[in-house]
Chains A and B, each alone.
Chain A
Amino acid sequence: QQPVQSPQAVILREGEDAVINCSSSKALYSVHWYRQKHGEAPVFLMILLKGGEQKGHEKISASFNEKKQQSSLYLTASQLSYSGTYFCGTETTGGFKTIFGAGTRLFVKA
């Protein structure tokens, strides 16, 4: 079952923060986050494994609450380069496949 992402779209000014949420109706083992620019392949940002860990990548970080089956991606002090569509992907225990949400379109303007 496809995870649900929210919001569907976000418009930010440079320097503003944003949070993108991802929730699933199934028990999760891992959550992936990717960013895709128009016409290009998705680029891996980070993966969070069962255990409630939080990860960071420059000014982008994420958390995973396995009990709530939710993950959030935090973008701080956004830059123009952050524009794109963000996808969360989820995997269940023992699974081999990543199922993606519908995506969140992020537009950062100067």
Chain B
Amino acid sequence: SQTIHQWPATLVQPVGSPLSLECTVEGTSNPNLYWYRQAAGRGLQLLFYSVGIGQISSEVPQNLSASRPQDRQFILSSKKLLLSDSGFYLCAWSRRGNEKLFFGSGTQLSVL
């Protein structure tokens, strides 16, 4: 069966510090991968998605970047965090377009 791992569960970082969140999927190959962010009490904002190794599509210009160094690994990064980067970050995967999304358990990031 397929599983998705996302870590850490919580993270508190000072403004200006770097960020690296990692997500891995097991039990499938060539998944579509996604990073979403959810501000407190708000909806799910799509940040990045990838349909293959090394291929990244950015949805919103911002202080973040994403990489997919391996087929089932998706990394979200920042060189210098801003207060506005705080939120609940969710990694997700699907087999292909127009199929259901499987979400990781999320990372609650607080930038202070």
Binding site for B on A (CB under 8 A): 2, 29-30, 32, 34, 39-44, 47, 49, 87, 89, 91, 94-103
- Quick check: A96 and B32 within 8 Å, CB to CB? yes
- Quick check: B43 and A102 within 8 Å, CB to CB? yes
Contact A49/B103 with A41-B90, A96-B51, A97-B49 known, Cβ cut-off 8 Å? no
Subset of 6 A-B contacts with CB under 8 Å: A42-B103, A97-B49, A97-B59, A98-B34, A99-B46, A103-B43
How long is the Cα–Cα vector from A103 to B38 in the complex, in angstroms? 11
How long is the Cα–Cα vector from A39 to B103 in the complex, in angstroms? 13
Q: Which of B43, B45, B96, B105 has the most CB of A within 10 A?
A: B43
- Quick check: A41 and B49 within 8 Å, CB to CB? no
Q: Which residues of B contact A30 (CB under 8 A)?
A: 98
Minimal Cβ-Cβ distance residue in A for B49: A97
